[in-house]
């Protein structure tokens, strides 16, 4: 068998890179990651963050070392804070309105699993991929990198994940890509069933950066701080001291925020919770939210039955252009409790952990805790009435 000098050079060069990567790892303010791709050769390769958030504009270009071999230098500030990322050969082709996504597949226990989003962890210094095929989807509405929505194509490029085959966080992400999101690709579970699974998985994997990072970014999906604390307590000290662990600690230890917002009826600036020593039910709504409007009779029934025992406040997340519609809605429906306006809706939703509307939070006296209640759920409604001794 003949081996070309070029092939030997590439192999030797790759070995040098792999050894160097393992020796350097994380240090000097940078973390090194080597990616080897077999079967296709790109002119560029990027670590990219598509979704919105702290790193929505993140794009790190890889340095091509040899054919199919790329090295990335990731600042520790990014490495420590980034929840997930993708590898892509090109961000967007404006000439053809084509978006690119790379999908990694691996067989686990006889079943082919997919992985699109990756996450950093202490053992991740090298990724080896083998090209399989490309699938093109036509006539898709998508956002271009500049934020415009366009009709175009998506090129999904499939690879076999050769290494690291035994990376625990990759396997956990493949097993449950929706951890802490209370979603399932096959069926919808109850909150309790989802929660039991999340708790059990955290107990079995106390060193998982994937699990704790997802918990830290999905705090608004959990009903109570106690639910979050039980899962958080499963993690080892190293994960608890991570950026994600500290974020969870801060949320668990801080009192419920009491923002000052504009009273929609009077125009005065007031605390959302005027009497912090009483229970307060926060209702989140908007003029354009039809499900919120359909829930109003339930809210009025609560007010009638618990008035005097419970404060109720509705916070509108209307943007400035629809505020007048909200005021008209309040007057038309004769809502008897206070309603508040907020100029920065994203800030308020984040502060009160509001994933979607309609949404309801019960704030405990002393601002010690807030608990999510689903007013459509009969069990939640019964729990709420039992709390105040009303049957």
pLDDT of residue 167: 84
Q: Where in the chain is the domain with CATH 3.40.30.10?
A: 260-387
- Tell me the CA end-to-end span of the chain in Å, nearest whole number: 85
Pairwise CA distance, residues 391 & 383, whole Å: 10
Backbone region of residue 123 per phi and psi (left: phi > 0; alpha: psi in -120 to 50; beta: other values): alpha
User: Between vectors from CA 255 to CA 253 and to CA 260, what angle results, nearest 5°?
Assistant: 145
Question: Among candidates 48, 32, 127, which has minimal Cα distance to 85?
Answer: 48
357 to 152, 251, 380: CA distances (angstroms): 31, 22, 17
Residues 6 or more apart whose Cβ sits within 8 Å of residue 192: none
pLDDT of residue 28: 64
Residues 6 or more apart whose Cβ sits within 8 Å of residue 137: 153, 154, 156
Q: Tell the residue number behind the tokens 């601002």, with chain if given.
A: 367
**Mind listing the pLDDT tens digit of every residue in the chain (391 residues)?**
444 444 444 444 444 444 444 444 445 688 999 999 999 999 999 999 876 544 456 899 999 999 999 999 999 989 999 899 999 999 888 888 888 999 999 988 788 999 999 998 878 899 999 999 999 988 777 666 666 677 888 899 999 999 988 888 999 999 899 999 998 766 678 889 999 999 999 999 999 999 999 999 999 899 999 999 999 999 999 999 999 999 999 999 989 999 999 999 999 999 999 999 999 999 999 999 999 999 999 999 999 999 889 999 999 999 999 999 999 999 999 999 999 999 899 999 989 989 889 999 999 999 988 999 999 988 889 889 998 888 7
Sign of CA dihedral 186, 191, 193, 194: positive
Pairwise CA distance, residues 61 & 356, whole Å: 35
Q: Could you tell me the two tokens for 330? A: 């309040």
pLDDT of residue 122: 79
Question: Among candidates 334, 333, 351, 329, which has minimal Cα distance to 272?
Answer: 351
For residue 164, is the peptide bond before it cis, meaning its omega torsion is within 30 degrees of 0? yes
Selected from 1.10.3720.10, 3.40.30.10, 3.40.120.10, 3.60.15.10, the CATH number assigned to the domain covering 260-387 reads 3.40.30.10
pLDDT of residue 93: 85
Q: What are phi and psi of 191, to 5 degrees?
A: -55, -45
| Cross-sheet strand order for the sheet of 46-48 | 59-61, 46-48, 86-88
Pairwise CA distance, residues 88 & 111, whole Å: 25
pLDDT of residue 271: 96
- Residue 99 in contact with residue 152, Cβ under 8 Å? yes
DSSP E strands, the chain: 26-27, 30-38, 46-48, 59-61, 63-66, 69-75, 86-88, 92-93, 98-108, 111-115, 126-143, 149-163, 260-263, 269-271, 280-285, 311-316, 338-341, 359-363, 370-372
DSSP label of 358? S
- Residue 317 in contact with residue 310, Cβ under 8 Å? no
Q: pTM for this one?
A: 0.79
Q: Which helix (H) or strand (E) segment is 232 a member of?
A: helix 225-232
């Amino acid at each position: 068998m003949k081996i070309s000098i070029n092939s030997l050079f590439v192999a030797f060069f790759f070995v040098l890179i792999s050894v160097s990567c393992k020796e350097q790892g994380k240090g000097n303010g940078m973390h090194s990651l080597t990616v080897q791709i077999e079967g296709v050769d790109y002119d560029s390769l990027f670590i990219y963050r598509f979704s919105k958030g702290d790193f929505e504009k993140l794009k790190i270009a890889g340095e091509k070392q040899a054919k199919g071999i790329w090295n990335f230098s990731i600042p520790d500030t990014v490495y420590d804070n980034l929840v997930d990322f993708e590898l892509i050969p090109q961000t967007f082709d404006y000439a053809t309105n084509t978006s690119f996504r790379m999908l990694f597949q691996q067989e686990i226990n006889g079943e082919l699993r997919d992985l699109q989003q990756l996450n950093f962890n202490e053992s991740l210094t090298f990724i080896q991929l083998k090209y399989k095929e490309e699938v093109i989807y036509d006539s898709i509405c998508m956002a271009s990198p500049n934020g415009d929505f366009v009709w175009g194509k998506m090129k999904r490029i499939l690879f076999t994940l050769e290494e690291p085959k035994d990376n625990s966080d990759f396997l956990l992400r493949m097993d449950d890509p929706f951890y802490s999101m209370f979603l399932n690709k096959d069926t919808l579970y109850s909150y309790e069933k989802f929660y039991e699974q999340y708790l059990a998985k955290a107990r079995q994997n106390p060193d998982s950066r994937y699990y704790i990072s997802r918990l830290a970014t999905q705090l608004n999906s959990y009903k109570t701080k106690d639910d979050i604390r039980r899962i958080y307590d499963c993690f080892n000290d190293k994960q608890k001291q991570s950026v994600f662990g500290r974020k969870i600690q801060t949320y668990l230890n801080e009192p419920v925020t009491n923002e000052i917002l504009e009273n929609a009826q009077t125009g005065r600036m007031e605390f959302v919770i005027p009497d912090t020593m009483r229970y307060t039910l926060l209702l989140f709504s908007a003029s354009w939210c039809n499900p919120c409007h359909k829930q109003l009779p339930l809210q009025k029934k609560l007010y009638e039955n618990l008035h005097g025992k419970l404060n109720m406040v509705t916070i509108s997340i209307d943007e400035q252009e629809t505020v007048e519609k909200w005021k008209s809605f309040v007057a038309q429906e004769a809502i008897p409790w206070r309603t508040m306006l907020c100029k920065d809706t994203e800030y308020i939703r984040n502060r009160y952990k509001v994933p979607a509307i309609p949404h309801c939070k019960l704030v405990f006296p002393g601002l010690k805790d807030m608990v999510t209640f689903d007013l459509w759920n009969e069990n939640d409604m019964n729990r709420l009435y039992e709390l105040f001794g009303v049957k």
